[in-house]
Amino acid sequence: MKKYILIFLIPFMGKSLLSQEKVRHFHDSIGFAKHDWQMDSIFARIDSIDKIENERISKAVINPHDDYKYAGGLYAKTLSGIKADKIILVGVAHRARNFELADKIIFGSFDSWEGPYGKLKVSALRNEIISKLKKESYVVHDSMMQLEHSLEAILPFLQHQNPETEIVPLLIPYMKFEDMKALAAELAEEFSEIIKEQHLKYGEDIAVVISNDAIHYGSEDWGGSNLAPFGTDSIGNEKAHQKDLQIIDESLRGKLSNDKIKIFNEYTVEADDYKAYKWTWCGRYSVPFGLLLANDLNKILNGKDLTGEFIDYRSSIKNKHIQVEDLGMGVTAPAKQTHWVAYLGMGYQ
């Protein structure tokens, strides 16, 4: 007797299971807003001076990714300069070591990301740019992208100010500066061709947002490490703040150049081991790579270097905190004299 097998395709949300949308889900629901009402409340509680709309259009920004309680106001103040609806997100790969990732740009394959106001679409530019890059220049790694918080922190603010935001998320793991220059130049060349073909305007239609937290400082709660070379009394902590400001002045403000961006790299990464911290900014790779990319794009498209404008510098022990506990939120780390993090907002035109 012949046997027959019947195969049924079960529809799911109007699609077969084989074509189901791939969504990057929330990872941190403590420090960041997961629901629309949480985000609305956070924004309402931010000081009015941080919500004054920036009339200048930023082609790129450096923005924090720490808990909203500590840094929410600086998110709003910095991202108000972003007017584009297509955002190249350059993030930190905090857990790159877990997956032995280094020396390549990290992409994901998600179709969208969860946001407090619904899903944020991953732009079709992501797949287009991947198809143009050299195979040895990148890796697609969803597990790394799912665990990384440095981009999901920024999305609720972008979505709050523009519900039509589309994103091109990428992460930068351990990387030598010369490799950053080469990969950023390759990425800028391919993006510029797409921008020209689609008649997009840099700043108005597409922009770069670089995720970063500045100095991580203190003698406690750093996994057994002492990250306080100046000590943790008021004098030592102020010296750490002042060193951050020196780094910002020397390498991130004013007219950009590869040499200037390299100064930042030399401050933050050990010369004889590019995987080791010298000064503990977690954006020690995302910041220089993001700036190289943003500046190369501007040189190709507009024939000149970007200029960096200082927006603000804050830290979890120097600035007013936002009340979040009644919203079901909280903090992922303490803020005290022996454990704190600093934040930077920069805009580039």
Give the domain ranges of the chain. 11-348
pLDDT category, 271, cuts 50, 70, 90? very high
- Give pTM, 2 decimals: 0.94
pLDDT, greater one: 5 or 75: 75
pLDDT digits (tens, 9 = 90+) for 144-185: 999 999 999 999 999 999 999 999 999 999 999 999 999 999
Query: Percent of the chain beyond pLDDT 70?
Result: 95
Question: Considering only CA atoms, which of 349, 282, 344, 285 is closest in space to residue 315?
Answer: 344
Question: Considering only CA atoms, which of 109, 31, 113, 36 is closest in space to residue 64?
Answer: 31
223: DSSP letter: T
CA 3 to chain CA mean position, Å? 56
The answer to whether 336 and 234 have CB atoms below 8 angstroms apart is no
Q: Is the pLDDT of residue 254 over 90?
A: yes
Using CA atoms, how far residue 156 sits from 36, 105, 159, 202, 257, in Å, is 9, 24, 5, 22, 31
Q: Any idea which architecture 11-348 has in CATH?
A: 3-Layer(aba) Sandwich (3.40)
Q: Is the pLDDT of residue 18 over 60?
A: no
The answer to whether 66 and 138 have CB atoms below 8 angstroms apart is no
Cβ partners under 8 Å of residue 177, min gap 6? 262, 265, 269, 274, 288
